[in-house]
Structure 1
């Protein structure tokens, strides 16, 4: 219950006014429901012909004797002027009217809770998505994508089905129970006191079953995350799975996860299913005991209540049983939803290691140079990737990074837009530490073209214009021409309005790369980062892409990570990385003259 209260405190405040209306309508609905049961007493008295004749009104007081005496006065008056059957009809009309108001206000309460419920679920989904966008890349290298998807979809759905479905019961049923209980006290405080001793005993027994529900629920949601990860990996690696005849291996792995999930959910559902029959059985026991105790009050030597009042009391009490059962079921659902919320909070409460400065310094474009000053970086303490790197890159220069795989080249360029933060040293742009400027302002200066072009399941136009607000068709076409992409775009079915499929799957590798170059051209940043942009292409595609890259790098500061040394012969400076350090630097001819690591790499590629 504490978890549920915390969730309400976090997500309900924007809907306070609607929650207030819901509670108000629930109070009115419960009040008219209670009145309708109280009206049952005179109806029964008329039917049994035991109505006490009252010929005078008594002074009004807020107690049972005064109210019932005056009510019976009007019943007597009605019987004298009309007949008993007509009076019964009048009483029935009041009963129907009370029921109409009860159900009407109940609908209005439900109307408000639907708005709250769907609004809270929308807010949770949006918060998760915003958090995913704001978290740094290191977070996602530690998490499985399938598990993140499971928390965004399945866990949010579980919160909706469990906690949000329980909102109505949580705000409605306690009000019904309290008001109906007040009516029961009004009719017989002795019998109600006896009931109040029994109900906590029933609640305690039900609560014991729910203690393990949250744990089992979390196990099930964790396992579902593993299943979704398995599916995501299968879809991504389907070509490799088929090529290595590994269908049976993957099927066995999935079957194992699926069977474990079934067993967990069986145990969970068995406990959850126990809520209704247990509450019904215990409720029946309570009703029998109440009937027995009520009989003692009626059949005693000095009866404390009459038979018609007792029947109305039992009807009122039985109306409490169903809300109480629903409330106990809601408690089970809340436990299950709380487990899902715990998993969601692992994302929402994740701390970002890339922090925005409280008072960012203005970065007015790029005017002079980029400087890496004594920069070191490690993904974890035992894996240092860069060691005391010092580089200055002047405006308009093209700097190439070469070296073996794992030598630190890609990490070097990832530090500049602050995808990761240095652990030692600093990176300066025009003398300003990049940690002192806003992330948006910093990244606005840069464009990226990666080895694996990242495109979206959208039109060619929207992929090129991605991140550039209000781009015109003419601007997009001009960027595509610079990137050598216009010709193949016009050969597609709908030109720039052609949808390219998931991750650009309808295009070839070279076409996808040229679209990513066009996207960078349209952004028109002063600093360009190219991370092995041609390494995965065939010779013809590489030629077209290299021409596009040459167009892109004109009049820009460019940092190029390259495996094919032939593409960087004209770079202003080539930095050779080896085990996290820059061991050689200079122009192409100068490095060949050193006859060192660069010369070895160059000769191997020429061979």
Structure 2
């Protein structure tokens, strides 16, 4: 466990090493001050019980060891105080000294926690940033195997668990070992026989704690996995409410969720019960150890074979009792860290995911297209079956090329390969004879604008949705883009015009309005290459007319790839490629393909029926 914990610290704590140094410094100072405050108990006990009747004379520093001179002179001043003003006065001075030392101890203890807080909150902030940055940078292919709800659970529940367990335990993990080491050293100096006896007892309790901690980590991992399943079900339910209600599937969905929730309930109960066991178990073992030490140490003193006095033995017991609490906290922290490590494993699945879409070491600088786009003998598969097989097409600059075919024929895959949402496995895609893998991904995608079947909008204003991905756009440019996209009129009819919020995914707009906003966004970007993926297939006739007009405005003087189910929208394309089972089976203009009387004509005739 400690190895994994140290790995996490090595990854995330270095930016906060200044705070870590200050925390450790004040922890050491606090522990030393606590020893001095406890040490005042010895003279207090000796005065109260009249144990020490020795006579002291003042010694010059340097006449003996510093410790001996310091202790002798301390007792000299105390005895002088007792002789002049009585034992009560000496006790009052010692009590005031104890209060002052405790004030210093608690003050330094607070400062150690004060400097730990920026580490805890900063590391959690950094982990969230790293995870979000990684999620945004990962290729689309990653999210075809990972459920969105589970990814959300890792970014929320798992990171929160890391904060509540590992980060909350940081102070204990740094402070308590220091206290244990300093206290043990002092105990050795007081009585090495007694301390050796104590050290024989401690591994026994540590072994029991370790056995329980291992099962806790395993259960915590299962619980976080189950939490991811729950989040996935919630996300799917919210996204599919319309279908759930249409098919009267509420009982089925509720039953599935209740079953998963019951499993999560059982797992969390098991984990919480194990965690609840930590405190009583450590308290029982600590009390048992103290009782045994009390018996063993008392026997040594009563037998007269011990170098430790009765007052020093009380001091020893106070230190030993003080070591019990850090040991208990340390064991509780170990439990919490076990739970957090399970969450860290799940977060690491995202952080360690490899992105195959990378910039080349020496990229070709290219920010515009001069001649053509070429797909040269490309083949591609998502998993095992080839989706595209040895496909070659050429798209001259300024022309519109359409890809048509039945669902699953590979049209959308062709479009996704151009901006490198996925990478070609065989063959290559070239812009002016430059392989797109030799370009920076940012430069490549800057040349392209996308309008998809489902208009992907954000819970923001019209203005911010249209300017998405475009820096420093003026209001005049936004209005002009909206006018070209036939969107200006319905935008200004809303309560706040371009500052009106359009709701989650544009839920306050109709399908045609959402599509025209996405077209306005593409117009404002002004890309030389345009990809239209079934941009009108989900619209009614009136909306399609307005959107089609907006698309024609957008396509003017641009190199365009159109993927269409409605063949009426691509009659004017310069070239149409007909795809079937991942291959190009026909190509030509609309009239040429109709004259061939093969695949394309069949598709047209099917839509006429």
For the pair 1:33 / 2:37, whether they are aligned, the reply is no
Deviations 1:56-76 (A, max 9, x none): 42734255x554333212212
Structure-1 residue corresponding to 2:25:
24
Structure-2 residue corresponding to 1:289:
292
The 5-angstrom pairing of residues 371-410 of structure 1 reads 371-381=374-384, 383-410=385-412
Structure-2 residue corresponding to 1:514:
516
Deviations 1:9-60 (A, max 9, x none): 1111111111001000100011101110011111111222333331242734
CA contact (8 A) 2:367 2:444 kept: no
Among 191, 200, 206, which residue is 1:203 paired with? 206
CA distance in 2, matches of 1:406, 1:459: 36
Q: Which moved more, 1:190-199 or 1:206-215?
A: 190-199
SS in 2 for 1:407: coil
Count of aligned pairs between the two proteins: 605
For the pair 1:249 / 2:236, whether they are aligned, the reply is no
Among 294, 298, 314, which residue is 2:301 paired with? 298
Deviations 1:574-593 (A, max 9, x none): 11111111111111111111
Among 217, 221, 240, which residue is 1:218 paired with? 221
CA contact (8 A) 1:527 1:558 kept: yes
CA contact (8 A) 2:367 2:446 kept: no
CA distance in 2, matches of 1:364, 1:495: 34
Structure-2 residue corresponding to 1:68:
71
Among 280, 285, 289, which residue is 2:283 paired with? 280
For the pair 1:7 / 2:12, whether they are aligned, the reply is no
CA contact (8 A) 1:53 1:72 kept: no
Shift in alpha-carbon separation, 1:319–1:33, aligned structure 2, 3 A = same
CA contact (8 A) 2:57 2:73 kept: no
Q: Which runs of 5+ in 2 are unaligned?
A: none
Structure-1 residue corresponding to 2:471:
469
CA distance in 2, matches of 1:203, 1:581: 66
- Give the drift of 1:336: 0.7
SS in 2 for 1:25: helix
CA RMSD between the two structures: 1.3
SS in 2 for 1:535: coil
For the pair 1:90 / 2:70, whether they are aligned, the reply is no
CA distance in 2, matches of 1:292, 1:61: 34
- Give the drift of 1:604: 2.1
CA distance in 1, matches of 2:606, 2:277: 72
For the pair 1:585 / 2:584, whether they are aligned, the reply is no
CA distance in 1, matches of 2:58, 2:607: 115
- Give the drift of 1:81: 4.0
Structure-2 residue corresponding to 1:413:
415
SS in 1 for 2:607: helix
CA distance in 1, matches of 2:247, 2:121: 46
SS in 2 for 1:32: helix
CA distance in 2, matches of 1:257, 1:62: 68
CA distance in 1, matches of 2:26, 2:165: 23
CA contact (8 A) 1:155 1:340 kept: yes
Instruction: State the TM-score, normalized to the length of structure 1.
Output: 0.98
SS in 2 for 1:211: helix
Among 556, 581, 589, which residue is 1:554 paired with? 556
Deviations 1:164-188 (A, max 9, x none): 0110000001111112222223332
For the pair 1:326 / 2:329, whether they are aligned, the reply is yes
Deviations 1:378-419 (A, max 9, x none): 1112x2111111111111001111111111100001000000
For the pair 1:431 / 2:418, whether they are aligned, the reply is no
CA distance in 2, matches of 1:49, 1:123: 60
CA contact (8 A) 1:55 1:76 kept: no
Among 59, 66, 70, which residue is 1:57 paired with? 59
Instruction: State the TM-score, normalized to the length of structure 2.
Output: 0.97
Shift in alpha-carbon separation, 1:303–1:587, aligned structure 2, 3 A = closer
SS in 1 for 2:427: strand
- Give the drift of 1:594: 0.9
CA distance in 2, matches of 1:558, 1:177: 71
CA distance in 2, matches of 1:299, 1:119: 55
CA contact (8 A) 2:485 2:519 kept: yes
Structure-2 residue corresponding to 1:495:
497
CA contact (8 A) 2:367 2:447 kept: no
CA distance in 2, matches of 1:505, 1:391: 38
